[in-house]
Structures are given as structure tokens and as C-alpha cells.
Amino acid sequence: MAIEVFGVEHIDLTVSDLQRASAFYEKIFGALGFKRVSPQMSGGTVWTNGYVSFGLRMVAPEEKDVAFNRYRVGLHHLALKARSREDVDQFYQFLVREGVPILEGPPAEYPQYGPNYYAVFFADPDGMKFELVHYPWGYWKRAQTAGRDERPRYTPDNV
């Protein structure tokens, strides 16, 4: 029996300071068209755009002083798909105005991820890496139909 998964329903992020993170994500998710949802989940906050939801949860007390490291087990980074390069550029301008830490500079093409891969990278208050990317759907549709993605991949030996 094949079970079809057709999208991500929700993602929960664990943060070190719920109030600080909520203020940050209110701006970020607001700029991306998400709305805060009521009631809040147990001790956290949720935003949704009708397709996917993001929740924030407070880190366990014994982990409060542990810094985020995307090379440890868990989330490496989260990439959100934009409809156009112009949306990526507009979001970058928003990030700059809001003083959000930009990683790897302004929006650019990243041919190592595939032809016409255009993205901006930024960090949340805990240092989690996020990306807003426009990648033409035609490539993904072919990759998904064929069941393989021919882009070169990084390995621990070539990072």
C-alpha cells in the first residue's frame, strides 16, 4: 500500500526565549503572509498561511544554555519556497530594514544547488538558519516525476 504525502502540515521549532522568538517570527511570518493562530498550543505560539503551520516551543530547562548547532542531530536549516525572484528580493529588503542577520550576503544564484536556484539566507535569534528560495518549478516537477534529483550534493568531505 502506498500512502501519499502531499505536503508538510506543520513544523515546530524549539527556541531559547519564547517572547524574543515570538516577536521575531511575528515580523518574519507576517511578511510572508502567515497569521497567528488562536488558541496557542501548550506554552507556544503558532502561525499558518493555510498550507503549513509553524509552532514555537520553549526549550527544555536543562537545554536553555545550549547554543543551536545545525551540524548536530536535528534541523539543519529550513527553506521556504517563493513564487518569484522578485519576492526573494523584496523579502531581502524587509530583512535588511528589520535588522535580521543575513547569512551569505544578498540574494544570489547558487548554481551548486541547481540551475536558476535563487535564494537569500538569514538567521533567527537562536542562530537557526532559514532560506527563502525561488527555484523554477519545472526542474522540481521533472525531478519528482523521475524520482531523482541530479544536482550535485555536498558531503562531509567537500563542504
106, 35: one domain: no
> What's the pTM value of the predicted model, to 2 decimals?
0.81
Please give the residue range of the domain that contains residue 106: 75-159
How would you write the pLDDT of the chain (159 residues) with one tens digit per residue?
Answer: 877 777 788 899 999 999 999 999 999 999 999 999 865 656 678 999 998 999 998 888 888 788 888 888 788 899 999 999 999 999 999 999 999 999 999 999 998 888 889 999 999 999 999 999 998 865 656 666 666 666 555 445 544
Give the N- to C-terminal CA distance of the chain in Å, as an integer.
Answer: 38
Q: How many domains does the chain have?
A: 2
Q: In this structure, what CATH number is given to the domain that contains residue 152?
A: 3.10.180.10
86, 57: one domain: no
154, 80: one domain: yes
57, 97: one domain: no
